[in-house]
Copies of this chain bind each other. A is one copy, B any other.
Amino acid sequence: MREVAVIGAGSTVFGELWGKSFRSIGIEAGAKAMADAGLSGSEIDGIYFGNMSASRFINQTHTDALVADYTGMATRNVPAVRTEAGGASGAVAFRQAVMAVASGMQDVVIVGGAEKMTDMDDDSINMVMNSTTDAEWEAGMGVPLASIYAMIARRMIHEGIATREGIAACAVNSHFHGEFNPDAQFRKAIKLESVLKSGPTCDPLTVFDGAPISDGASAVILCPLEDAKKYTDKYVKVAAVSQASDTLAMTQRQSFTSFAATKVAAADAYRTAGITAADIDVAEVHDDFTVAGVMALQDLGLYKNGGEAFLDGSTRFDSGKTAVNTSGGLKAKGYPIGAAGVSQIAELYQQLTGTADKRQVRDAKYGLAQSAGGTGSAVAVSILEAI
């Protein structure tokens, strides 16, 4: 097994990109990543692509071929693989790509993720989002994703694992960082009161507890670690890529206040990287709902009380502790679903190469990305290491 490096990254701005097509944002992110890595498409021999539901959002299935086509790589018949795992679609693509390079089957690969959500009306978008829960036991019974996370929040508060304020503080942390990320959908800090007093979605959660509906794309370039210097001086090592599953429906779970898949994937990733949670300098966690961000910090072992860490500012880029969601997270950077997991890797790449500008975490050595599908039904945890 060869060691693998990330040698470049690129993203579009995330937001309501009504003037841009799915195709154009995919090309934009890919071209930026290739330019960043200092290589051209002719040097790439594999494409991995995370996308949740272009089939429903824009009536385009078979987006693996679309990406190969519109990046010009179909003219060289470069194989493309689309993965889908709900919100973790992009993270799973990243893991498959790392496996391909590690195994020696491919050398230089591009990992992309994209979603174009805002071409559809809001009710239909919610239908698509809810289809990542159990169609027979959850969505089909009138239980949407937001209400499941509201139940999780209630249970966490009931058991004293989190406070309402701690949960809301996850959004405050993400928006704080969003202000410093020129690619973020929301570039404006918010106050805790704004989250608490925003319109209710599913009580106790409000509009500000949920990530927005977004368009956007991200891409990163991988190659064998030993070849990285051929392309660039700006590269990081992939120290671990792990993935774990859980039941689709929450009713089958042992716990309503923890995602076992996060714990299992994290334990495996730490073991592979030869580090512990205490070594992580910067983490990108899946805060599609604030309460999921709080759970993630706890399940990853980064903070015993995730809500407190968000509340007291430990998670900010300049705290000297483990910085969390310096990109703005899903909540403020935006949540174009298929792009999310790839965008996390792109942020870690910037942080670990010292190119994160105004939100730079000092002397960051290890970065961790956690990406979840459904309600923690599939979780990918990756660890990157500065060289």
Contacts and interface: CB of A to CB of B under 8 A. Distances in A.
Interface of A: 1, 21, 23, 47, 52-53, 55-56, 58-66, 68-69, 73-75, 77-86, 92, 96, 99-100, 102-105, 127-128, 131-136, 139-140, 242-249, 252, 260-261, 264-265, 373-374, 377-378
A368 to B, nearest CB: 17
Contact of A65 (B21, B23, B56, B245): B245
Main secondary structure of the interface of A (DSSP, over half): mixed
Nearest to A243: B79
A85 B59 contact: no
Given A62-B248, A69-B248, A103-B105, A81 B80 contact: no
Contacts of A73: 245
A127 B59 CA distance: 9
A134 B65 CA distance: 9
A55 B85 contact: no
A92 B85 contact: no
A217 B181 CA distance: 46
A103 to B, nearest CB: 3
A383 to B, nearest CB: 16
A61 B65 contact: no
A133 to B, nearest CB: 8
A80 B248 contact: no
A64 B85 contact: yes
A258 to B, nearest CB: 13
A1 B104 contact: yes
A135 B242 CA distance: 34
A364 B227 CA distance: 43
A206 to B, nearest CB: 25
* Residue of A61, A99, A127, A249 ringed by the most chain B CB atoms within 10 A: A61
B135 A374 contact: no
Nearest to A106: B99
A297 B115 CA distance: 37
A48 to B, nearest CB: 10
Given A65-B377, A74-B246, A77-B260, A59 B140 contact: yes
A69 B245 contact: yes
Contact of A77 (B21, B82, B264): B264
Copies of this subunit: 2
Contact of A85 (B56, B74, B82): B82
A273 to B, nearest CB: 15
Contacts of A56: 55-56
Shortest 4 CB-CB contacts between residues of A and residues of B: A103-B103, A65-B377, A68-B245, A79-B243
Contacts of A65: 85-86, 245-248, 373-374, 377-378
Contacts of A373: 62, 64-65
A52 B59 contact: no
A166 B374 CA distance: 48
Contact of A131 (B21, B60, B83, B103): B60
A111 to B, nearest CB: 14
Contacts of A252: 69
Given A56-B56, A100-B99, A74 B247 contact: yes
Contact of A378 (B64, B128, B246, B265): B64
Contacts of A133: 62
B82 A84 contact: yes
A215 to B, nearest CB: 16
29 contacts: A55-B56, A60-B131, A61-B86, A61-B131, A62-B133, A62-B374, A62-B377, A64-B245, A65-B85, A65-B245, A65-B247, A66-B248, A68-B246, A74-B245, A74-B246, A74-B248, A77-B245, A77-B260, A77-B261, A79-B242, A79-B378, A80-B245, A80-B378, A81-B85, A81-B96, A82-B84, A83-B83, A83-B84, A103-B103
